[in-house]
Structure 1
Amino acid sequence: MGIKGRIGRTALALGVVTAGVPAEATWMRATSTHFVVYSDSNAEKLRAETAELERFDLLMSAFSQRFLTDVTDAARNPDRAFNKVTVYVLPSIASVQQFARMKDVAGFYVPRVTGSIAFTPRQSDSVGENALSPRIVLFHEYTHHFLLGNSTLALPAWFSEGFAEFASTTAKRDDKYWIGVPAQHRAYGLLEMDKQLTMGQLFAPPASMTSEQTEAIYGRGWLLTHMVMFDPVLRSQLGKYLTLLNSGTKSAAAAQQSFGDLKALDKRADAYLKQSRVSALPVSASILPQPVVDVRALTEGEAALIRMRMESTRGVDGRTAKPLWAKAKEAGARYPADPVAQGWLAEMAYDAGDLEAAEAAADHAVAADPTSSQGLLYKARVHLARLVAAKSHDEAAWKEARSWIIKANRAQNNDAAALALFYQSFQMQDAKPNKGAVAGLYRAVELVPQDMDIRFQAAQQRLLDDDVPGAKALLRPLAYNPHADSDNPAARILAALDAGKGGRAALEAAKEKSSELTKDGPKSGGKDGS
């Protein structure tokens, strides 16, 4: 079955308006199985929007099980409930760009062990059939989170972005959801820039592309993905291509071996685009369970700090951390008994290097809520930072600092941030991690597989444990990450392992820090946050 829909020729235009978060807005917080959403929407509207996100997650789980052979059964994975995405809904695309610190984005997603986040606009800066709607933006970003968390293989740029585009247009018509609706918002890239990126060029590394070709990845990636999803033969060829790619074959060579003549594929794609009808998969809305969504207004303390919290969790540096903390400590001083607000303050003070204030805020958070993960972990971070600065060899002091992490873990057994920090505390001490710390690191990766830095740490530990197969499984998505250099540390380690080197010797192939693994900012992780 299909929905009538031909890609129109109206160019997509993204205007820029004055950015900002209205100071007078009444902010609400919605919580569901896989999401925490902050918005200044009214309660019922926010509840409905969050429920739609949960339904989208259900649709992606069902669709991927049917059409993608390399994706795990997300619906049966209980760990996903401990890896919620926190979504911040901003007034406009310009507001999102302000937080992204980039001009050419309409929304962005940051995966990390301390809590993945996404920023999305409430309304588009454009109107009409080809407008980039907020729903499309958010669905696109969440699809990245879904694939990173459930795919067992590394995905190339064209498919990572193409499938996100494919899923993002999921729409409800009457009593059905339709997956694979035409990507009208990519009309300009598909029809006016169609010669910028042939199918053969689509399989090249993004680093070798021009800016115009990089932009065209979204549209051409959607086109090829759409073709593949509704053609069993092409889906089989995709499976072969991904297997070859994850075995070390270069993308272009893997594509030729899998899809055959790429010029013929290009002609087929052009003909596919010109069809008057394209396929879409219908799913009856009645078979989807009603999501449970809790909505509440922010406390006075949370409301006073929400703008600063968004700046903090997006990420700060040496230039921005102190000015942000100066604003936050004044705004939050009136709410010493608010555990969430005090947890946010502890993080901002810590980032600014004010350890005394960070510990005081953490103490306030824990006093108000003994299970406050943020309070307990920032108490630990402060103590660890002092020990590192003092170059301490006092084993009792290190044990005391770790006791706060243990308390956080006992309060929330599946808090990946606590598990990761416990392991990292041994690195800070320059000590060998104990078995519990290593097990905790591996568990953190299971809980938040999207965090590339934690994945890289776990791969290194696997090599130290002489678990080469386990290390390779962790390294492949990093080595073939479309946003990383082709000669990234993970790729060098894999090459060394394939050349017959042992685990420890292979580690010498990657001297640079794991932060080199990604290059594109918003999707590459960032500072701690929760």
Structure 2
Amino acid sequence: MPSAVHRLLLALALLALTPASALAEWRRAESPNFIVYSDGSERNLRDYTARLERFDALMKVRFGRGQDDDVRKLPVYLVENGRALRTALPNLPEGFTGYYSTSENDIFAILVRGESDDILLHEYTHHFMAKNGDSQYPGWLSEGFAEYFATATVPERGKASFGLPNPGRQYALQQNRWLPKDQVLRAKGSMDVGDSAGRGMYYAQSWALTHWALSDPARVQNLVAYLTAINGGRDPVETWQAIFGTSPEQLTAQLRAYLRSSLRYAQIDLPPVTPAITVSILPSAADAVLLPMINARAPDPADVDGPALLETLRTTSTRFPDDPLALVALGRAEKQWGDDAAAEAALKAALDRQADSVEGLLLMADILTGRGDVAADPVEGARQRRLAQGFLQRALDADPTDYRVYAALARIRRGSTDYPNENDLLTWVLAVQRAPQVMSIRGDAAIAMMERGRYEDAITLLTPIVNNPHGGPGVQRARTLLDQIGQRRAVPAPD
């Protein structure tokens, strides 16, 4: 019978023959408009980041926009496969290879390398247009624009192209039953048209209608007149018939004929795009923490298996006890699903090692704000909120483009007797300017404007929420607030 020593030697020999699971090496590329994370090669990362910058340049040239120095850079995560994608987004349906998310916790895109370029270009078009005023577009045009640019090509040399045919949408239009055109014209977005098959056709028909409208100068002029009319409150179907001279049925026939023709696309000369790209290698903890952190920042904590994620990040923190990223991840999970004291301890340890961690500073401020809100002693509550404001000021110094900091600074003032003062309104404006895509921040900013009687500013903030093509719970809230503005305006001023 083998001795204990023999058994130990045998186990060590077998262990030596077993290949170890190597940690992936994550890199971070920073360019003027993006921060891109990838566990692939540095060359692929640089090439992809440069391509995103060229696409951004195409959008700016096409729409006459300059560089946005005060807007937060978009984080993009490139992952190896669907399994990695679902580590970050466990509830993402099968078949998805990319996703774009906007919430108070983060704005980011994540996709499988080499499989989701059109998805990212589609969503970045929304991201770009939200920064540059697409709030007055009907749902079909908002989605149609995104589809129109999703097939763009932006080579390093030569002309950039956009409006190229979309084979997937063309196939759907050839094979599937079309939605009634009046339904497409009236829908606020894809969520207004029912099931997934209907939403797919909504995207396809929106692409076809946008492509048709932009392919002829006379139709472009009619489109401008149409947008002006419907934003003035005119009925979208009646206005279409009056301006374009076609009924919804005739429009469908025109689109079918157009799709059978050779679709035209546009080309444009881009100036040389040579962005400065800085690549750094992240600490080894990134492989264990980066994707679970995305899961932890989910807009709705109910969508997350919190206890399991907490246990995962507790285990990770023991493997990387001195890594700020792992400690911040643990702090967020403890705050959400565990123990506030443990969260605070992890965040203090993280900030001792990386004093300018915006994520860590925001979480610490959130803990202190919550403590101040429930304090029985008003003096102690005010003290806790002042401490929170100190952490938020440090976060603002670390990154003056982060919308989350401005929103937190504005919200922490809501219990003050002089809220909202002019500085509070300015803080809300800055939060919206840095993240116009986050509808809940727009809503809170609008309420502050209403409290000061700034109704026109409130309407400007609320209109994109009502017109949001992706719908969401904020739409009804925005409509209610617009109704309240109308009621307040109808009340005569006191003598």
TM-score tier after normalising by the smaller chain length: 0.7 to 0.9
1:263 aligns with 2:262: no
TM-superposed CA distance for 1:489, in Å, is: 2.1
1:156 aligns with 2:138: yes
TM-superposed CA distance for 1:329, in Å, is: 1.8
Partner of 1:509: none
**Aligned counterparts of 1:111 and 1:190: Cα–Cα separation in 2:** 30
Runs (5+) with no aligned partner, structure 2 = 1-20
Partner of 1:525: none
TM-superposed CA distance for 1:496, in Å, is: 4.3
Partner of 1:480: 467
Is residue 177–residue 284 contact of structure 1 (8 Å, CA) maintained in 2?
A: yes
Is residue 23–residue 287 contact of structure 2 (8 Å, CA) maintained in 1?
A: no
Counterpart residue type for residue 292 of structure 1 = A
1:385 aligns with 2:370: yes
Question: Of residues 106, 115, 118 in structure 1, which corresponds to 2:106?
Answer: 115
1:199 aligns with 2:184: no
SS, match of residue 44 in structure 2 = helix
Count of equivalent residues: 462
Partner of 1:360: 345
TM-superposed CA distance for 1:157, in Å, is: 2.4
SS, match of residue 279 in structure 1 = coil
TM-score scaled by length of structure 1: 0.80
**Aligned counterparts of 2:370 and 2:338: Cα–Cα separation in 1:** 10
Cα deviations by residue, 1:272-310 (Å, 9 ceiling, x for unpaired):
1001x222222345x232122122222122223123123
Question: Of residues 197, 205, 217 in structure 2, which corresponds to 1:232?
Answer: 217
1:272 aligns with 2:258: yes
1:178 aligns with 2:161: yes
**Aligned counterparts of 1:110 and 1:268: Cα–Cα separation in 2:** 35
Name whichever of 446-455 and 243-252 sits farther off. Answer: 243-252
> Residues 192 and 199 (structure 1 numbering): CA distance in 2 closer, same or farther, change over 3 Å?
same
1:297 aligns with 2:281: yes
> Residues 492 and 199 (structure 1 numbering): CA distance in 2 closer, same or farther, change over 3 Å?
same
Q: Which structure's CA Rg is the greater one?
A: 2
SS, match of residue 79 in structure 1 = coil
Cα deviations by residue, 1:494-526 (Å, 9 ceiling, x for unpaired):
244346636999xxxxxxxxxxxxxxxxxxxxx
**Aligned counterparts of 1:445 and 1:503: Cα–Cα separation in 2:** 29
> Residues 316 and 203 (structure 1 numbering): CA distance in 2 closer, same or farther, change over 3 Å?
closer
Alignment of 1:72-471 (within 5 A): 73=65, 75-80=66-71, 83-92=72-81, 96=85, 99-103=90-94, 105-124=96-115, 134-172=116-154, 175-193=158-176, 195-205=177-187, 206-211=190-195, 212-261=197-246, 262-275=248-261, 277-284=262-269, 287-315=271-299, 317-318=301-302, 320-394=305-379, 395-427=382-414, 432-471=419-458
SS, match of residue 35 in structure 2 = strand
**Aligned counterparts of 1:115 and 1:503: Cα–Cα separation in 2:** 40
Is residue 396–residue 402 contact of structure 2 (8 Å, CA) maintained in 1?
A: yes
Counterpart residue type for residue 265 of structure 1 = L
Partner of 1:5: none
Name whichever of 36-45 and 151-160 sits farther off. Answer: 151-160
**Aligned counterparts of 2:491 and 2:280: Cα–Cα separation in 1:** 50
1:493 aligns with 2:481: yes
Runs (5+) with no aligned partner, structure 1 = 1-21, 66-72, 125-133, 506-530
TM-superposed CA distance for 1:229, in Å, is: 2.0
What RMSD over aligned residues (CA atoms) do the two structures have, in Å? Answer: 2.8
TM-superposed CA distance for 1:373, in Å, is: 1.4
**Aligned counterparts of 2:441 and 2:431: Cα–Cα separation in 1:** 8
SS, match of residue 490 in structure 1 = helix
**Aligned counterparts of 2:465 and 2:475: Cα–Cα separation in 1:** 11
**Aligned counterparts of 1:383 and 1:317: Cα–Cα separation in 2:** 20
TM-superposed CA distance for 1:393, in Å, is: 1.7
**Aligned counterparts of 1:138 and 1:23: Cα–Cα separation in 2:** 29
TM-score scaled by length of structure 2: 0.85
Is residue 99–residue 314 contact of structure 1 (8 Å, CA) maintained in 2?
A: no
Is residue 107–residue 141 contact of structure 1 (8 Å, CA) maintained in 2?
A: no
**Aligned counterparts of 1:488 and 1:104: Cα–Cα separation in 2:** 31
**Aligned counterparts of 1:504 and 1:168: Cα–Cα separation in 2:** 50
TM-superposed CA distance for 1:152, in Å, is: 4.8
**Aligned counterparts of 1:376 and 1:352: Cα–Cα separation in 2:** 19
TM-superposed CA distance for 1:44, in Å, is: 0.9
> Residues 207 and 504 (structure 1 numbering): CA distance in 2 closer, same or farther, change over 3 Å?
farther
Name whichever of 111-120 and 94-103 sits farther off. Answer: 94-103
TM-superposed CA distance for 1:415, in Å, is: 2.7
Name whichever of 53-62 and 202-211 sits farther off. Answer: 202-211
TM-superposed CA distance for 1:149, in Å, is: 1.6
Is residue 388–residue 429 contact of structure 1 (8 Å, CA) maintained in 2?
A: no
Counterpart residue type for residue 278 of structure 2 = D
Q: How many percent identity over aligned positions? A: 28
TM-superposed CA distance for 1:453, in Å, is: 0.4
Is residue 30–residue 295 contact of structure 1 (8 Å, CA) maintained in 2?
A: yes
> Residues 197 and 23 (structure 1 numbering): CA distance in 2 closer, same or farther, change over 3 Å?
farther
SS, match of residue 429 in structure 2 = helix
